[in-house]
Structure 1
Amino acid sequence: MSDFTAALDKLAARLGGAAENARRLSGGASQETWSFDVAGEGYILRRAPGGVAMASANAIGLAKEAEVIRAAHKAGAPAPDVVLECEEGDSLGPGYVMRRLAGETIARKILRDAAFAQARPVLARQCGEALARIHAIDGVDLPSVDAGEQLARYEELYRSFETDRPIFELAIQELKKRIPPPVPLKTLHGDFRLGNLMIDANGLVAALDWELAHIGDPAEDMGWICTPSWRFSEFQNPVGGFGEVEDMLAGYRAAGGDPAIDEARVRFWTMLGSLKWGIMCLTMYRAYETGMDASVERAAIGRRASECELDLVLMMQGKL
């Protein structure tokens, strides 16, 4: 029996049985995700890689992640049910356990497979409703960042590369001119997009991967799912490649979201989202270029910065 198997059995005992059918899932870029059963019930373990927590500039940490997911679930937002957190005696490192949900997370399937044909027309409104409930979460101590601070943070990161990308330069200056007036800041998911959403035949099941949750402008979550890179080539449908912004906003307002959040505000955050993702792509290419991460995946993602440049040009021209 491996150390991990023994540790998982110890954890399963807290759930009333022995761990069965344990397997590591491919999802989750920064944390390990495991599926297992206990006494006929399905669970998901999310823990630090190898059981060792790694520092991250933006991630809130697994303990805080579990706290915000619990708060979201309690608020009626589509979120997993966290049933326990790992303890030192579990020998699994930082992490938590959720009840396993059924659904699909692969964007290509959600956007194209016949199994989700009935879900796609209602997803944008459901996303708006979900975001209204997420943004109503209170009482969780999270980092706060507004539009100006976020733009400044990514400009500083971009400048650190000492590279000439005229489109990024132009977009930074244009975004500075377009910063919207302040609104009350809310609890945000922080990475609300296909890939982090579980969908079934009826629509949205749950928002996953809460590690970037923070306090910010509510339109940030909306702009992120509208960012062209997260439309997965279905550019004609602004919301995630499946819906319209007005439907998302209608759902948001119907579920109690701030009526001050409008399409113009979402457009600003969509453009900032493309800039952010483009700079993230540069970060990944720099990791490949310097040998910090020599994987082909890093080089391939780094190449996508050019896609963001095209998207930014089209958005500045009002064509996307």
Structure 2
Amino acid sequence: METDADPVLGARVRDALGLADAGPLTVLEGGRSGLTYVIRDAAACYVVKAVPPGRKALGRNDVLHQATILTALAGTGVPVPAVRAREDEEPAWFAMDFAGGEAVEPVLEVDAEIEPALARARMLDAARVLGALHAVPLDELGRSVTASGRTPPEATVPGEEVGRWARTMRAVPDELRPGGEELVGELLAHVPEPVPPVVLHGDFRLGNLLFDGEVRQALIDWEIWSVGDPRVDLGWFGVFTDGRLFPGSGRVVEGLPSERELGEAYREARGDDGGTAEATVWFSALGRMKMAAIMGHNLVRHRTGAHHDPVQEQLPPAIAAMIADARRLLAEERR
């Protein structure tokens, strides 16, 4: 008979959810924040996220940060899993409904079979999901966050976003980020004025949105949600429209929407411009800079032995491509 991956946590989850006849608490493959498990009985299935024993609830291990925004978004029309239980007692955890479907990133998952027309339809619908998220009144979400005992995050502005990712970029050796310092300077020289802040998902893309065919199921992976300029989410989403930005690690998929098309679908769903039609090129360049910084960080972690993952050796061409394309966009915008 299979036993719980964590017997103490399993007992807490069963008691909170009333799952006397549930099967074992098992590790869910693919979970990257905290510890991720699944537990089910004859009637339902739940995903459980928990702080690892002995760890502090900080950063990606702060699973209740995710539970807070999922609870706040319930009933707003944004497709998120329902939170069914949470416990703040250490090690903290929460349980949410298991959401079915698949999350396929067309330009990155080279072995995934997805028709270009389906990928296009999903991306356009994802833009509408993002518009619905950014349309949720921030004051309502703030009240819900406060009611949970948490403090809503302070809103960040575009210049702060550059500074944050510049620090990550500068931790990468110069030879792995050709033109990276110049790109940081070019972004800082033309920082746009912020627009009214919204809740940001932080990693908005098809890889974090579950679909059944063309039908959206749930927007997942909320570990880095924050409050800030909505164009940050839009610029990041746009990075995944062009497989040419991922030489050696991705693929070109014909027929995907352009960043302009995604922006149009987004604004139609949001119901107002929100200022997001301005400075879109700058935010597209910022998205590419962020991706280059993240790729460089992951490659350094592999090469220093912090996290062994030979796949990261595919990334140098993509890092260079991201930086070069960001600089191209900014140069063309200034002409």
State the TM-score bracket (shorter-chain normalisation): 0.7 to 0.9
Moved more, 221-230 or 296-305: 296-305
Q: Where do residues 39-58 of structure 1 align in structure 2 (5 Å cutoff)?
A: 39-49=42-52, 52-53=55-56, 55-56=58-59
Pick one of 258, 277, 280 that aligns with 1:266: 280
Pick one of 211, 235, 243 that aligns with 2:257: 243
Give the Å deviation of 1:297. Answer: 4.4
Q: Where do residues 168-179 of structure 1 align in structure 2 (5 Å cutoff)?
A: 168-179=180-191
Q: Where do residues 292-303 of structure 1 align in structure 2 (5 Å cutoff)?
A: 292-301=306-315
CA distance in structure 1 between the aligned counterparts of 2:306 and 2:110, rounded to whole angstroms: 34
CA distance in structure 2 between the aligned counterparts of 1:102 and 1:3, rounded to whole angstroms: 22
In structure 1, runs of 5+ residues without a counterpart are none
Q: TM-score, normalised by structure 1?
A: 0.81
- Residue in structure 1 matched with residue 64 of structure 2 by the alignment: 63
Q: Aligned in 2, Cα 1:204/1:230: closer, same or farther, shift over 3 Å?
A: farther
Number of paired residues?
A: 309
What amino acid maps onto 2:100 in structure 1?
A: A
**Residue 285 (structure 2) pairs with residue 285 (structure 1):** no
Aligned residue for 2:181, secondary structure, equals: helix
RMSD: 3.2
What amino acid maps onto 1:280 in structure 2?
A: I
Q: Where do residues 113-192 of structure 1 align in structure 2 (5 Å cutoff)?
A: 113=113, 119-135=118-134, 136=136, 137=138, 138-139=141-142, 140=145, 141-161=152-172, 163=174, 165-192=177-204
Pick one of 221, 238, 242 that aligns with 1:226: 238
Give the Å deviation of 1:51. Answer: 7.1
Moved more, 95-104 or 78-87: 78-87
What amino acid maps onto 2:198 in structure 1?
A: K
- Residue in structure 2 matched with residue 84 of structure 1 by the alignment: 85
- Residue in structure 2 matched with residue 252 of structure 1 by the alignment: 266
What amino acid maps onto 1:40 in structure 2?
A: A
Give the Å deviation of 1:205. Answer: 1.8
CA distance in structure 1 between the aligned counterparts of 2:30 and 2:206, rounded to whole angstroms: 13
In structure 2, runs of 5+ residues without a counterpart are 146-151, 244-249
- Residue in structure 1 matched with residue 246 of structure 2 by the alignment: none
Q: Which runs of 4+ in 1 moved over 6 A?
A: 109-112
Higher relative contact order (CA closer than 8 Å, sequence separation 6+): 2
> Does the Cα contact within 8 Å between 1:167 and 1:312 map onto a contact in 2?
no
- Residue in structure 1 matched with residue 247 of structure 2 by the alignment: none
CA distance in structure 1 between the aligned counterparts of 2:63 and 2:279, rounded to whole angstroms: 31
What amino acid maps onto 2:119 in structure 1?
A: R
Aligned residue for 1:74, secondary structure, equals: coil
- Residue in structure 2 matched with residue 12 of structure 1 by the alignment: 14
Identity of aligned pairs, percent?
Answer: 23
Give the Å deviation of 1:76. Answer: 1.4
